[in-house]
């Protein structure tokens, strides 16, 4: 148990003020480009919000709901960035961190028992019903429970009623699903909460709640064909601070519970280019529902998707706004231009992806199983040219292909006749 006295109230009167964030993914790259500087910039902005809250209300705790790192063994510079951020935040507030599916729970949780009271690392599922207790100077009391990412293959034994061998499946285990293990974790939390009269409740969880929208940059956590958890597992919880999905959103929840994804503070794929990245300021009052206010995090570099002929892309004045953006470019010239990426980077130095899709591209997909050797050479040539250029083959191109095909067939037959002789 950890009892931390928080100072301050909120713009809503008697309330505990929390800042909810998740999915920092330190060490991640974007199409091969290091994001270390960009991640440093957004974490600096988050720390600045804690040091100087936008409405002047002190932040009593920062909740980081999993995926601190992008992989189990992060780069040294990412570990140093996390250490620097924790140290800076802890000068102003309490920080509660849980592990996600990208993290190594053991590595992230190293030293958890040694940290000073203002830094709390929750990475051991055995401790998920042992809350961090925050008590405000105005009397509001909040119990913060951390649910680390639960791998169903391991958690179905650890969280089975009575431990492994308890009731449940025929073998005594919980069903092999995220729904089963997260629901069991929340049951344990509710059992503990029932003994804490007058305490408000917050649960941090790293999971995919049904009804929420994923993006391209999240790693699948599907097990047994199922990766989603019903929002009703959080019934009776005042606020569920979720991590895993990178877009800020509010999936459906049980009556009385407020369930939110803060999303990642940085864009990690072009599917996120239009997302407004935020952290969530959460006010938990002495009674009534939690109140959530998003605070936008300015992005170090915009993202854009561009399309057009190469000459237009290099000269169109309207595109000057994207010259310092991370860009994904589709070039539509009839023939792929030479040195395409190099030429684009003369104007868009941060181009990350370049595709060539000629105007008028066609799909010549066919059904059936006609053997290539039995097809008419002109038809075969037309399909080959369309596949390579993504445009309808011209008569001259088909004639040239047919002539080459016939020459190759003649040469093969001459070689075969020579071998027989």
Helix residue ranges, H only, 60-201:
76-90, 105-108, 152-158, 178-193
DSSP 336: P
Is the pTM higher than 0.75? The answer reads yes
Distance CA 260, CA 208 (A): 11
β-strand pairing of 29-30 with 94-98: unpaired
**What integer pLDDT is reported at residue 399 of this predicted model?**
72
**What integer pLDDT is reported at residue 116 of this predicted model?**
65
Sign of CA dihedral 220, 224, 226, 228: negative
pLDDT digits (tens, 9 = 90+) for 196-211: 999 999 999 999 898 7
pLDDT at position 315 over 50: yes
**Three-class SS state of 205:** strand
* Residue 59 burial (C-beta neighbours within 10 Å; 0-12, 13-18, 19+): buried
Q: What is the mean pLDDT of the segment spanning 28-37?
A: 94
**What integer pLDDT is reported at residue 130 of this predicted model?**
95
Task: With cut-offs at 50, 70 and 90, classify the pLDDT of residue 225.
Answer: very low
Among 166-175, 288-297, 412-421, the minimum mean pLDDT is found in: 412-421
Contacts with 15 (C-beta within 8 Å, 6 or more apart), sequence order: 9, 136, 140, 283, 284, 285, 286, 291
User: Number of C-alpha atoms within 13 angstroms, CB side, residue 326?
Assistant: 24
Task: With cut-offs at 50, 70 and 90, classify the pLDDT of residue 147.
Answer: very high
Task: With cut-offs at 50, 70 and 90, classify the pLDDT of residue 387.
Answer: low
């Amino acid at each position: 148990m950890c009892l931390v006295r928080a100072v301050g109230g909120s713009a809503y009167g008697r309330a505990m003020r929390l800042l909810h964030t998740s999915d920092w993914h330190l060490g991640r790259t974007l199409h091969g480009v290091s994001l270390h500087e960009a991640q440093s910039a957004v974490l600096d902005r988050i720390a600045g919000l804690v040091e100087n809250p936008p409405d002047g209300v002190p932040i009593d705790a920062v909740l980081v709901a999993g995926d601190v790192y992008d992989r189990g063994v992060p780069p040294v510079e990412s570990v140093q960035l996390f250490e620097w951020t924790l140290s800076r935040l802890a000068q102003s507030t309490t920080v509660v961190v849980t592990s996600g599916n990208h993290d190594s729970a053991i590595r992230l949780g190293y030293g958890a028992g040694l940290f000073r009271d203002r830094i709390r690392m929750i990475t051991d599922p055995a401790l998920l019903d042992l809350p961090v207790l925050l008590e405000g100077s105005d009397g509001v009391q909040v119990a913060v429970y951390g649910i680390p990412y639960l791998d169903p293959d391991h958690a179905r034994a650890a969280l089975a009623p009575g431990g492994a061998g308890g009731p449940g499946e025929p073998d005594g285990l919980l069903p092999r699903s995220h729904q089963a293990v997260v629901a069991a974790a929340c049951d344990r939390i509710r059992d503990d909460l029932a003994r804490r009269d007058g305490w408000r409740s917050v649960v941090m969880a790293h999971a995919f709640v049904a009804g929420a929208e994923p993006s391209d940059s999240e790693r699948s956590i599907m097990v047994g064909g199922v990766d989603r958890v019903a929002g009703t597992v959080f019934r009776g919880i005042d606020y569920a601070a979720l991590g895993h999905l990178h877009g800020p959103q509010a999936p459906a929840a049980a009556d009385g519970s407020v369930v939110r994804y803060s999303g990642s503070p940085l864009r990690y794929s072009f599917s996120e280019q239009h997302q407004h990245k935020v952290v969530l300021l959460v006010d938990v009052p002495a009674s009534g529902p939690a109140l959530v206010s998003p605070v936008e995090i300015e992005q170090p570099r915009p993202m854009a998707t561009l399309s057009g002929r190469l000459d237009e892309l290099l000269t169109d004045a309207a595109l000057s706004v994207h010259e310092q953006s991370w860009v994904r470019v589709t070039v539509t010239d009839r023939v792929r231009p030479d040195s395409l990426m190099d030429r684009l980077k003369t104007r868009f130095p941060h181009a990350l992806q370049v595709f060539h899709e000629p105007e008028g591209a066609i799909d010549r997909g066919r059904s059936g199983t006609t053997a290539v050797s039995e097809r008419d050479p002109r038809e075969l040539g037309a399909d080959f040219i369309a596949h390579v250029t993504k445009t309808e083959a011209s008569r001259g191109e088909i004639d040239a292909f047919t002539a080459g095909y016939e020459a190759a067939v003649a040469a093969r037959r001459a070689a075969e006749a020579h071998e027989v002789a």
